[in-house]
Homo-oligomer: A and B are copies of this chain.
């Protein structure tokens, strides 16, 4: 057990009020949406300037105090959880919009800027920040970048990675790096920016980002299809992609739908009950796009790819249909589901899903299993609910066992054990299913380059050599 960090010295380095140690703050800042419960952090630091972040990192190196970078703490994998009495560095008060350029269509923000605020800032200037997900109201830009967040419109706009034109980070060494500075083209060696995107706070603290905005979206069309069999999902995806400009192609199963209908007291959107449903969003700048989409629906029903369909008649309808997809996670949250966030290439999705379903059904014969996700990205969210009467500890044990079998299928299909939730604490034991030993060794080498004393988010993503059991 390391000695407690000299918090008085840390406080003396910073303006007053930056270091919190009250029980409420420690409890709030020590955990994320993964709801892992662990001992509280030693302290929470809330810097208000980049120089203060650098001072904290220098202090941490000098006294070998481990730091946990903290954004909106909406992560699902425990990446921002303080697991061993570390000092949490929250970027929440570094939240200013610094700069906007209408020609470059970029906005420069501090790491703590909240996603929804950036979306609103862009919209007020006739542009769009297209990264969007359920946690947009509390997730922060720095955290989005640290996990390469995806969300609902990846099929059109990519992930966070595709939005980051420039990045300022304070590395584990305490160096301030100003990476790429918003340039479109820059062939001057290794693009370190991309190394920090998705690094889950293990290489540096993201303090600022220059984000690329897009043109405002045209009016949208949304439709919901009842899909009787998995292979037809890809027939539908290809047919719609050829006919219209898609911005989302989402999936959910009937069990997911039933939970949403019950939680929200809604009527079924379609007369047909079907094992799967596809939600399709497309650009509808004019009647021609709508006609093209309707023609695909007709063709799909005739071919048996879909057994029923409903088309949104107006924007309120669009929102009603989206609600069915967007409410799934919160509808099942009270049941504390066991979650997985897995991906394969889109073409492998039907075979993969069928194979995972076989494993899961055999392993949890009496547990409700819910599928939903982003078909257009090859990304599925697998949720298993605890059967009534089963002891929670026994359920957790069985989930860990089944996870390994699911990840074997993921590995066999060349997939990812974490598509968008990151690795954090919860997935690090399974990293080897998606990354080779040589890759993980290279990651450890890179970690040592930027954070030689291992002060940044230790034990997340992977254990460094010293932490590993020998």
Asked if A36 is at the interface of the complex by the 8 Å CB criterion, the answer is: no
User: Quick check: A450 and B439 within 8 Å, CB to CB?
Assistant: no
State the 6 A-B residue pairs at the shortest beta-carbon distance, nearest first.
Answer: A194-B194, A445-B449, A175-B438, A103-B347, A185-B419, A186-B416
CA of A450 to CA of B190 in the docked complex: distance in angstroms?
A: 13
Chain A residues 410 to 442 lying within 8 A of chain B, measured CB to CB, are 414-423, 427, 431, 434-436, 438-440, 442
| Residues in B neighbouring A147, C-beta threshold 8 A | 187
Given contacts A199-B190, A442-B449, contact A234 B103 (CB under 8 A): yes
Asked if residues A421 and B198 are in contact (CB atoms below 8 Å), the reply is no
Q: Please provide the chain A residues from 269 to 318 with a CB less than 8 Å away from any CB of chain B in the complex.
A: none
Q: Which residues of B contact A159 (CB under 8 A)?
A: 185
Contacts of A21 in B (CB 8 A): none
Could you jot down 12 A-B contacts, CB within 8 Å?
A: A103-B237, A175-B438, A177-B442, A182-B345, A183-B343, A183-B344, A184-B346, A186-B343, A186-B418, A188-B417, A189-B461, A191-B197
For A148, list chain B residues within 8 Å (CB).
187, 191
Q: Which residues of B contact A178 (CB under 8 A)?
A: 436
Q: 1/0 per position for A136-155, CB-CB distance to B under 8 A? A: 00000000000110100010
Question: Is B185 within 8 A of A442, CB to CB?
Answer: no
Chain B residue contacts of A182, Cβ below 8 A: 345, 414
- Please name the residue on chain B nearest to A197 by beta carbon: B191
Q: A29 at interface (Cβ–Cβ under 8 A)?
A: no
- Tell me the chain A residues, 377-431 only, with Cβ under 8 Å from chain B: 377-379, 414-423, 427, 431
A residues 100-157 near B (Cβ < 8 Å) are 101-104, 106, 147-148, 150, 154
Known: A103-B237, A190-B195, A418-B188. A345 touches B443 (CB 8 A): no
B188 touches A431 (CB 8 A): yes
Q: Give the distance in Å from the alpha carbon of A234 to the alpha carbon of B103 in the complex.
A: 7
B420 touches A187 (CB 8 A): yes
Which residues on B sit within 8 Å (CB–CB) of A421?
187
Instruction: Answer yes or no: A462 CB below 8 A from chain B CBs.
Output: yes
Chain B CB within 8 A of A98 CB: no
Tell me the smallest distance from the CB of A218 to a CB of chain B, in Å.
Answer: 12
A29 to B327, CA, bound (A): 60
For residue A263, CB closer than 8 A to chain B, the reply is no
A190 touches B238 (CB 8 A): no
* Chain B residues closer than 8 Å to A176, beta-carbon distance: 438
- Measured between alpha carbons, how far is A450 from B444 in the docked complex, in Å? 11
A179 contacts partner chain B, Cβ-Cβ < 8 Å: yes
Q: Which of A162, A203, A344, A462 has the most CB of B within 10 A?
A: A344
Interface size class of A (residues with CB under 8 A): 35 or more
Given the contacts A189-B462, A436-B177, A462-B189, A416 and B234 also touching, CB distance less than 8 Å: no
Give me 15 other A-B pairs in contact (C-beta within 8 A), A173-B438, A186-B434, A191-B195 excluded. A102-B238, A103-B234, A150-B185, A150-B187, A171-B438, A183-B344, A183-B416, A184-B376, A184-B379, A185-B379, A186-B418, A187-B198, A187-B421, A188-B435, A446-B446
Minimum CB–CB distance from A29 to chain B (whole Å) comes to: 23
Residues of B within 8 A of A374 (CB): 185
Query: What per-residue 1/0 map shows which CB atoms of A334-356 lie under 8 Å from chain B?
Result: 00000000011111000000000
CA distance A238 to B445 in the complex (A): 44
The reply to whether the CB of A192 lies closer than 8 angstroms to some CB of chain B is yes
Least CB separation from A432: chain B residue: B188
Verify if A18 is at the interface (C-beta below 8 Å from B): no
A181 contacts partner chain B, Cβ-Cβ < 8 Å: yes
Residue of B nearest to A343 (CB): B185
Pair A423/B238 contact, Cβ less than 8 Å: no
* Contacting residues, chain B, for A185 (C-beta < 8 A): 150, 154, 159, 343, 374, 377-379, 416, 419-420
In the bound complex, residues from chain B placing their C-beta under 8 Å from that of A189 are 198-200, 423, 431, 435, 439-440, 443, 461-462
A427: chain B residues at CB < 8 Å are: 188
CB-CB under 8 A for A181 and B345, given A186-B416, A190-B198, A194-B194 = yes
Least Cβ distance of A186 to chain B in Å? 4
B190 lies within 8 A of A346 (CB): no
Chain B residues near A431: list those with CB within 8 A.
188-189
Contacting residue for A187 out of B378, B423, B440, B445, CB 8 A = B423
Question: What are the residues of chain B within 8 A of A101 when measuring CB–CB?
Answer: 345, 347
The residue in A176, A186, A203 that gathers the most chain B C-beta atoms within 10 A of its C-beta is A186
